[in-house]
Structure 1
Amino acid sequence: MSDAAQDIFAEWSLPLSLTLTILVTAILYVRGWFAIRKTRSAQFHSLRLVSFLAGLATLWLAIGSPLDGFADAMLSAHMCEHLLLMSVVPPLLLYGWPVVPLLRGLPAVVRAVIGPFIRSASLRRLEHWLVTPLVAWLAMNITFLGWHVPAAYDFALEHENWHDFEHICFLGTSILFWWCILRPWPSARRSKSWGILIYLISADIVNTLLSAFLSFCGRPIYPYYSGRPNPLHLTSIDDQILGAVIMWVLGSLAFLIPAVLIAYELIEPKRHTTNSVISSHNSSLFGRRV
């Protein structure tokens, strides 16, 4: 292990506020999940519980573990951190259908206080607007590109509070983005259409363009990493290329795998309908011959 890596592990300390927040969130969800499972066991199966808790664990791994220290020293580690925040944590959390379990997990007195606010018409209109596909797509991709502008990227790394805000931006807008795909209950369910493929593939194009630029520009883009000891002894440009490849390959898979699965869902009913029509037609032909 290099001296730089040893220093990162030596300087790491357990982030108490983040860890406690995640633990309290997990406790509230589990409490609410058991309560709602009594009447909706088919909807709130064990996989939803596992998914939500895995999302919280991944969130801690991204910004609470020594990975966050490596992200300050390596662009490639920083890209891994962003990938977890934007493409892994949100789908895991949303598959757990977290809204109702988290509310049910709160003490009754807290629910009584926040209930009128949650049910307000203005808040509901804002919620519906935020998770319209165009708004969610723009929010995530503008945030993604904006924070990768060199001046903004370096500024966040140099100022811890702004770095935390950057993480909140990535996580929050990505939750909006994935919400439009997963539509967790009690959101109104919508039949998936071919438009959702455009939604995913166009986001992948944005990711691909930025990754390609970082891979082939031929020079370090982020001055922050210049002159800093790299734990893997990579040059700045090699570290940048590695980070771009991680973002390009794994980031694209995060968009393209759901696109393929959704395309299969859209094609499969048509295939069944076509087969039924053919079978019915053949039956009628054989019936006439008999």
Structure 2
Amino acid sequence: MKVSVRCFGFPLTWYRPIAETAEHEGFHGLWIPDHVVSPTLTDGKYPYSSHGRPSFDPATPFADPMVMAGHLAAATSRIRLGIGVYVLPLRHPLAAARSVMSAQELSGGRLVLGVGVGWMRAEFESLGQEFSGRGGRTEEMLGVMRRAWTGEPVRHEGRWYSFPELTVAPGTTEPVPVLIGGASERALVRAVRHGDGWYGPPGTADQTSAYVSALQAELERQGRERSTFRLVARAPEDDPLAGVRALAERDVDEVVLNLPRNVEKPGEVTAWITAAAGRLRTEGALG
């Protein structure tokens, strides 16, 4: 099982030293979140908290994840750069294909694309995108993008998108792994049908275990081998290091640790990463 870290809520200039430290300490990947805008008022329908509110406020810093992936790629050489998760239906599939392809090539094939359909209606409306139908659009977008990444001419006539023959060159040297996020029944079916794996939401180890069991059942239902599907789980936020041990018993391939946010300097975060790596190595959870 691999162990990675998730960079969230920090000033954007902190990401580079965090990524460099995580790579130096042997973590498998660094995951970057995504939102284009943060409306000052939400509808209280965030699906992963009991009170319906997200764990960030409108002033929380967000980077364009593909720009940040390119930035971090120039500062590192080994660590995987994950997007967890890219709110895909906020974009046009060709624009998204271009951005992802650029980050993949500039990172030397180290990008992992987590994809979500989004939950914040106000964000969609602010960008002039329909909130309804976003699941179907996402599925169609993934088909378009995978064809575009070949670098070969592609044309498309679909329910949501249509365009004449064109290319998005150059094609990607390495395939882009696509993990589908979410925990609804539709999201889990979509992950098995359209994804190379699943990127889990925040929650307890028991909640994650229930999602994993549902995914395993769906893999069997669709006749897909478990070895072809990557399970990436988020460690519980209250005690992420203990969560690594708990999730190691749940048949996941990668556990993602949230980094502490109640800090004032980047050195506090990098020190936490170093200490966490030492503890995980002692426990045999980090190579």
TM over 0.5: no
Q: TM-score, normalised by structure 2?
A: 0.29
More helix by share: 1
More strand by share: 2
Q: Larger relative contact order (C-alpha < 8 A, sep ≥ 6)?
A: 1
Higher-Rg structure is 1
Q: TM-score, normalised by structure 1?
A: 0.29
